[in-house]
């Protein structure tokens, strides 16, 4: 079993599992699938990197003009899925989505490598690209524009926080008798239940 007695706070488990993943996963222990929904009701999923979490929620950054950015801004709900194959564990999260503050986005953007900062300006994420040369020209344009000093955060680049209302922990079990523990938010507290595999 994941725990004989479930902790009151699901972040207790998540923190421990993320630390295990950091130590044992070969690449991108913080990689997470983000699922959103389009105006036509069609779901869409892609991988991003988790950049922070606390009791307020789970944070990732993106171009707000991208497909996922536009979908989430129009329908501010999302699902996250962490899958750590080498640990045989996964975590599912569902919740409302809110924008991070400008200060929070600025602070994170300042920690990014300069070339990644330039890339945030150069890439018109999710829009058609004629060829690689078009992207390289845009990169050169912004390298020249920000040749001196700090690269400011683009106004269309920021973060989202998924505020969880459900967190499910799944751990592989012998003979497919997996262990599943679900937390449901109820105001400021969490209710837990175990599920059949």
**Could you give the residue numbers annotated as active site?**
176
Distance, in Å, from the CA atom of 176 to the CA atom of 18, rounded to the nearest integer, reads 23
| Alpha-carbon 196 to chain mean position | 27
- Take residue 38 and report the two structure tokens written for it: 């389009």
Distance, in Å, from the CA atom of 105 to the CA atom of 134, rounded to the nearest integer, reads 28
In 3-state terms, what secondary structure has residue 52? strand
Which residues fall within 8 angstroms of residue 106, CB to CB, at 6 or more apart? 153
Tally the C-alpha atoms within 13 A of residue 36's C-alpha that lie toward its C-beta. 22
């Amino acid at each position: 079993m994941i725990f004989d007695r479930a902790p009151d706070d699901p972040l207790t488990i998540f923190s421990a599992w993320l630390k295990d993943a950091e130590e044992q996963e070969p690449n991108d222990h913080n990689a997470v699938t983000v699922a959103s929904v389009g105006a036509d009701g069609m779901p869409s999923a892609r991988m991003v990197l988790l950049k922070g979490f606390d009791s307020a929620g789970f944070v990732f950054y993106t171009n707000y003009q991208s497909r996922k950015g536009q979908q989430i801004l129009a329908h501010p709900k999302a699902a996250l899925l962490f899958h750590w194959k080498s640990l045989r564990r996964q975590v599912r999260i569902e919740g409302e989505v809110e924008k991070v503050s400008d200060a929070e986005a600025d602070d994170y953007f300042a920690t990014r490598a300069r070339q990644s900062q330039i890339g945030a300006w150069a890439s018109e994420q999710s829009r058609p690209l004629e060829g690689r040369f078009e992207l390289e020209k845009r990169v050169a344009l912004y390298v020249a524009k920000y040749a001196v000093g700090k690269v400011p955060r683009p106004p269309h680049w920021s973060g989202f926080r998924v505020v969880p209302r459900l967190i499910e922990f799944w751990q592989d079990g012998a003979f497919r008798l997996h262990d599943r523990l679900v937390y449901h938010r109820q105001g400021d507290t969490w209710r837990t239940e175990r599920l059949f595999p």
